Amino acid sequence: MTEMTNEATVKPIKSISKIWIIPLVALLIGAWMVYYQWSNQGPLITIEFESAVGLEANKTKIKTRNVDIGDVKSIVLKKESDGVLVTARINKEAEHLMHQDSQFWVVTPRVSINGISGLSTLLSGPYIEVAPGKSLTLSNEFQGLEEPPLTPAGTPGTFITLNSDDEFAYEPGDPIIYKGLTVGKIEDIFFNLEERIVYYNAFIEAPYHQLITENTRFWDVSGVRLDLKSTGVTVKTGNVETLITNGVSFGVPDGMPHGGRIQQRAFFDIYPSYDEASAARFKEEVHYVLMISDTVRGLNVGAPVEYRGLQVGKVIAIDVQSPEREDLLAEGYRIPVLIAVQPGRVGLPDNELGVEQVKAQTSIWLRKGFRAALKTGNLLTGAQFVELQFYDDQEGVEIEHFLNYEVIPTVSDEFTQITHKVTAILDKINDLPLDGFAKDAHDMVREFTETAVEFREASEAFDKLEEDLNTTVLIDGLNETLENVNLLLNDYNAESGAYQSIETTLRSLNRTMNDLKPLLLQLNNKPNSLIFSGDPAAEPQPEGQRGATPNE
């Protein structure tokens, strides 16, 4: 018999169990999900703020135009502790808004002179608003704004820079006005310590930014401007908004060409008023000095210099300092006043040619009696101005110089002339023979005194006579008499017994008189009837239908 052995053949397992397909598929799905999530999430950006007031990680939203585009993921303090870094995840679809010049700020309730904003965040909580920029470069790091920008990035218009070395105090948000319309705002302020000039960055909205040209001038219209100048009183204001805030207006001065539109950020000066802004167009000036012997009270820097009533320049400086300046208390000290004659104002070219023409013409005129004088322009304010004109009684003089400026001789002002005339009158009065007048006046006064004494004596005599009348006793007597009359009248009033008695008596008298009337008539007709009366039986009497009454 053959011995048979049954041995199992062991074969190594060469294939992986199919069961592993399941975790593998799960792994792939998970990886796909991670990839999908990673590939579809937006960028992680970092915004730097000074503080994180109201911001919370995983809660504060990033919004633009009130649409959520991201969430704040973390808030950490900067290493230097001078700010906070806010990390936020931006949605994929908003990734293109993260321009390099995009602006971020925290929206919270704010109350300012420009209005109230962010009231909706009282319930929803603060959020970060994004104003997308225009830069072509995208970025992940931004500098947050502490306050909302007055002009969101991308707003059509023009940025300009205004500067002033005057004492204006504009705030961000103050309006820029053109003919009463608010067309822009002051954005921010920068003070240049070296130049000691305040620069104001401002934005002019479209389409008004087209009004900004090379010859545009800006001037202050803050509040109400009340000018008390030699020309009178003027009141000016910008619009209702500038009544309570500061403001700047602009325009092209009358008579000037508009000039070309500005193509890039331009710098402009802010003038105190339109007049000064308008005057600033005259570039060339010829300076002269007036040596004033009288007072310069009422004369201000900027006061007009007029020739026959037309302004030809302005006062540049009063009491100009010079090395050879005399002591103010020295006798005959003349106050140097620097004035400018502007060729552009007199119709000459506003260039070197015009300057030369003014100098040449003035030199000729000075030899023909051309003089300067201070005149009172406004009696109310006492403001003065410089008037240039010819005086026939003035002879030509050699031209004097002061600090290399030509000196225009001056004549006394009106007040001084009046003073001189008054002095002359007083001198004539002094020449009068006042001694004779005084003697006559003395005699007249003496006679007047004697007359006054007589009048006083007459007055005293009259007073004595008046006292003799003893008015008090007289008045008392009159009062007593009136009282008696009053009592008498009371005794005879309608309800008194005396009145009744009188009335009764009068009635009785009246009746008696009536009774006597027939008797008197009878006596008149027959005088002896009083003695020889007629027959009573002959007197007629009423007859009855039945006859006589027995007792009659």
Partner 1 sequence: MSKYRTALFLACLTLLTACGSAPVEPLRYYTLDDTSPIPSEPENPARIIVFKTLSLAEYLQQSYLAFQTNSHQLHYASQHIWAENLQTTIEKSLLKELNRNNSDILFIKESDPRAKRANEYLSVDIEHFLATNQKNVQLTARYWVNFKKERVSKAAVSNIETPLQDSGYAASVKEMRNLITQFAQEIAQNINDWS
Select from 228, 225, 229 the least CA-distant residue to 247. Answer: 225
Which residue in the set 511, 520, 523, 526 belongs to the binding site for partner 1 (CB under 8 A)?
A: 511
Answer for the pair 158, 189: CB distance below 8 angstroms, yes or no: no
The residue among 156 and 544 lying less far from partner 1, judged by its C-beta, is 544
Segment interacting with partner 1 (CB under 8 A) among 100-108, 121-129, 197-205, 544-552: 544-552
184 neighbors 216 (Cβ within 8 angstroms): no
Q: Which residues, including other chains, have CB under 8 Å from residue 428's CB and lie 6 or more apart?
A: none
Comparing CB distances to partner 1, the nearer of 419 and 510 is 510
Residue 529 beta carbon to partner 1: minimum distance, rounded to whole angstroms: 10
Closer to partner 1 by Cβ: residue 427 or 552: 552
- Does residue 551 interact with partner 1 by CB under 8 A? yes
| Shortest CB 514 distance to partner 1, Å | 4
Neighbouring CB atoms inside 10 A of 213's CB total: 16
Q: Between the CA of residue 318 and those of 80, 334, 381, 404, what are the distances in Å?
A: 55, 11, 19, 16
Task: Give per-residue burial for 296-324: e unless 16+ CB within 10 Å, then b.
Answer: bebbeeebbbbbeeebbbbbbebebeeee
CA atoms of 220 and 395, how far apart (whole Å): 46
Among 327, 330, 536, 538, binds partner 1 (CB under 8 A): 536
How near is the Cβ of 477 to partner 1 at its closest, in Å?
40
DSSP line for 211-277: G-BTT-EEEE--SEEEEEETTEEEEEE--HHHHHS--EEEEPPTTS---PBP-S-EEEEEESSHHHH
Contact 252, 258 (CB under 8 A): yes
Who contacts 283 (Cβ-Cβ below 8 Å, separation ≥6)? 344, 350
Binding-residue pattern over the window 303 to 342 for partner 1, x denoting contact by CB under 8 A: ----------------------------------------
Smaller CB separation from partner 1, 327 or 543: 543
Residue 526 near partner 1 by CB under 8 A: no
Interface with partner 1, residue 532, by CB under 8 A: yes
**Residue 540 in contact with partner 1, rule: CB under 8 A:** yes
- Candidates 319, 450, 467, 515; binder of partner 1 (CB under 8 A) is 515
Cβ atoms of 246 and 202 closer than 8 Å: no
The neighbouring-strand residues paired with 400 are 407
Say whether residue 546 binds partner 1 (CB under 8 A). Answer: yes
Q: In angstroms, rounded to a whole number, what is the distance separating the alpha carbons of residues 156 and 425?
A: 74
547 binds partner 1 (CB under 8 A): yes
Shortest distance (Å) from residue 515 CB to partner 1:
5
Pick out residues in 479-508 that bind partner 1 (CB under 8 A). Answer: 507
List 517, 523, 524, 526, residue binding partner 1 (CB under 8 A): 517
SS3 151: coil
Three-state SS for 19?
helix
> Binding segment for partner 1 among 52-60, 77-85, 163-171, 533-541 (CB under 8 A)?
533-541
CA distance 177 to 158: 14
Distances (CA, A) of 250 to 155, 182, 418: 21, 11, 45
Contact pick of 419, 471, 481, 541 for partner 1 (by CB under 8 A): 541
Which window, 2-10, 46-54, 303-311, 527-535, contacts partner 1 (CB under 8 A)? Answer: 527-535
What is the number of residues in the chain? 552
| By the rule CB under 8 A, 518 interacts with partner 1 | yes
**C-alpha span between 386 and 536 (Å, rounded):** 132
Stretch in the footprint of partner 1 (CB under 8 A) among 28-36, 139-147, 450-458, 543-551: 543-551
132 vs 148: CA distance, rounded Å: 13
* CB nearer partner 1, residue 445 or residue 516: 516
**Which of residues 380 and 531 has its CB atom nearest to partner 1 in the complex?**
531
How does DSSP assign 357-393, residue by residue?
A: HHHHHHHHHHTTTEEEEEEES-TTT--EEEEEEE-TT
- Tell me which stretch binds partner 1 (CB under 8 A): 262-270, 433-441, 463-471, 528-536: 528-536
Q: Which of residues 160-179 bind partner 1 (CB under 8 A)?
A: none
Which residue stretch of 206-214, 439-447, 472-480, 509-517 sits at the interface with partner 1 (rule: CB under 8 A)?
Answer: 509-517
Interacting stretch for partner 1, rule CB under 8 A, among 25-33, 68-76, 396-404, 531-539? 531-539
Closest CB to partner 1 among 456 and 507? 507
Q: What is the rounded CA–CA span in Å between residue 439 and residue 501?
A: 85
Query: At its nearest, how many Å lie between partner 1 and the CB of residue 531?
Result: 7
Tell me how far apart the alpha carbons of residues 208 and 206 are, in angstroms, rounded to a whole number: 5
Give how many residues touch partner 1 by CB under 8 A.
24
Stretch that binds partner 1, among 332-340, 344-352, 428-436, 535-543 (CB under 8 A): 535-543
| The one segment of 22-30, 360-368, 419-427, 515-523 that binds partner 1 by CB under 8 A | 515-523
Residue 544 contacts partner 1 per CB under 8 A: yes
Residue with tokens 């140097």: 336
Beta carbon nearer to partner 1, 265 or 517: 517
- The distance of closest approach from Cβ of residue 521 to partner 1 in the complex, given in angstroms and rounded to an integer, is 10
Judged by the rule CB under 8 A, the positions of this chain that interact with partner 1 are 507, 511, 514-515, 517-519, 531-533, 536, 539-549, 551-552
